[in-house]
Structure 1
Amino acid sequence: MSRGLNIAVLYAVAVEGWLLRETRFPGHNVVLYETGMGKVNAAHACTLAIERHHPDLVISTGICGAYPDTGLVRGDVAVAGREVYGDEGVVLHDGFHTLETIGIALFRDGQREWFNTFDLDEQLVDYATGLLGCVSGTFLTLSACTGTLVRAMQYKEMFDPVCENMEGAAIAHVCLMTRTPMMELRGVSNIVQDRDLGTWDIKEASKNSQQAVIRLITSLTPDQAPKQGLPLKERFTA
């Protein structure tokens, strides 16, 4: 008899998970973790989720700030195609440089090295964007929210992100280390510019991101559960 998927859903704060907490997912074992804000909290919670529940898939969700001129507006949902640490590196006279400049990798596996960037599984990304009808792109993870348009444009030039948050790359990092399939999707609460909370809509962004997660999970059937050790990505069809 086939079984459903073990899925761990991670979000930082309560407003990002209220709808998920009220939802049941027949056929799947879904666990929810309210991680707390920031990289360390997210990495810690992700590690606990993987050790305790051995998920077939980790989904990171919540709100984000979209960068200008990406086509994203408040309320939109975006899917991460790549996760990037935006703070780790070195600042020289000519500006910020990533960890590749100093030659210190965050993770090594054989001959491969990962510095600031974690590319996510293309098949999973294509599945989610096709299902949800949304865009994908680079998600930038920062320790401090960007509150000026000048700084936003600097990040755009350095990393070409579609949005920023404070947890995603840390979760991708842990999932890479443990070889756990991972996705991230977020709702846009604001445009990254000179900070004006009056232009934000956290409630709508949180609702839309959670609805997208619910739609994604419920689109999977128990027949897509692991069979003969096949990677989860081989069980997805767009």
Structure 2
Amino acid sequence: MKQTIWNEVIKMTGIICALKIEVDGLKSAMDSSEKKTIAGLDFISGKINGKDVVLLECGIGKVNAAIGTQIMIDYYKPDVIINSGIAGSLSKDLKIGDIVISKDCVEHDMNGTATGDPRGEIWYTDERRIDIPADKATYEKLYECCKTIDDINVVVGRVATGDIFIADVDKRKFIADEFGALCCEMEGGAVGHVCYRNKVPYAVLRSISDDMNHNEFLDFEKFKVLAAEHSIKVMKEFLK
């Protein structure tokens, strides 16, 4: 994968979010937006802080995220893609509102262990690997932007993705122990998977919406607004 050099001009930044609340917060900061619908997905292009941006609400889950990412790459040709949103904590040290930035992603629901393969190993046509590396310059820049939010913990590490809302604490601990991941969600690994195969730099930004103590769906619904606000604030700073 090519690496982003942030002293070069980034002509187009793609931002993919799963939920409407996340996209709306960024769309409100966009000038002269234009919407194009492809495969039932609304791609919104315009400028934020003078930067060319294309936004997508992809919907929940890996397939939705993968479809949207590939279309975005083919049609808009972004120089970098950020998957921004919310996630569940896999660490007792990460609380609601804290932020995880991906150093890499894994797909924790990939399971070929019955054939003797490691859990999480992805079978590409020309290689096999577990980790999906994020763009170093991009995740370092996101980390700098997080300094604009007071009283939160920000860490760079592994994001675990799967088509499962993980509420059970023991299952969260298993994913943390098995993969060394800091948070779990349902889109980041799929975005990274598609970007990796297309050689497009990417990173994942996740604000914690449910921690190891508040991990039921009702807790997620209660705290997702706060978590989304943190993600949106970081992305606005990033686009300066």
Shift of 1:88: 0.7
- Which stretch shifts more, 164-173 or 147-156? 147-156
1:18 to 20, 24, 42: 24
Rounded Cα–Cα distance in structure 2 between residues aligned with 1:35 and 1:144: 17
| Alignment equivalent of 2:163, drawn from 135, 143, 147 | 143
Asked if structure 2 preserves the Cα contact closer than 8 Å seen for 1:9 and 1:33, the reply is yes
CA distance in 2, matches of 1:80, 1:29: 23
Note if contact 2:10-2:79 (Cα within 8 Å) is conserved in structure 1.
no
- Structure 2: gaps (5+ residues): 1-7, 31-47, 148-153
| 8 A Cα contact 1:187 1:208, kept in partner | yes
TM-score normalised to the size of structure 2?
A: 0.79
- The one-letter code matched in structure 1 to 2:124 is L
Q: AA paired with 2:175?
A: Y
Q: Give distance in 2, aligned partners of 1:115 and 1:4.
A: 29
Q: Is the 8 A contact 2:141 2:238 kept in 1?
A: no
Instruction: Report the CA distance shift for 1:204/1:107 in structure 2 as closer, same or farther (over 3 A).
Output: farther
Q: TM-score, normalised by structure 1?
A: 0.79
- What is the alpha-carbon distance in structure 1 between the residues aligned to residue 144 and residue 216 of structure 2? 33
Question: In 1, distance between residues paired with 2:138 and 2:12?
Answer: 16
In structure 2, the CA distance between the partners of 1:210 and 1:87, relative to structure 1 (3 Å rule), is: same
Asked whether the equivalents of residues 146 and 192 of structure 1 are also in contact (C-alpha less than 8 Å), the reply is no
Between the aligned partners of 2:187 and 2:57, the Cα distance in structure 1 is 12
Q: Is the 8 A contact 1:88 1:116 kept in 2?
A: no
Contact 1:86 1:116 in 2 (8 A): no
Instruction: Please give the alpha-carbon distance, in whole angstroms, between the structure 1 residues aligned to 2:200 and 2:10.
Output: 16
Larger of the two Rg values belongs to structure: 1
Aligned residue number for residue 68 of structure 1: 91
Q: Any idea what SS the aligned residue of 2:123 has?
A: coil
Identity across the alignment (%): 24
- Cα 1:79–1:195 shift into 2, 3 Å: closer
In structure 1, C-alpha distance between the alignment counterparts of 2:63 and 2:190, rounded to whole Å:
7
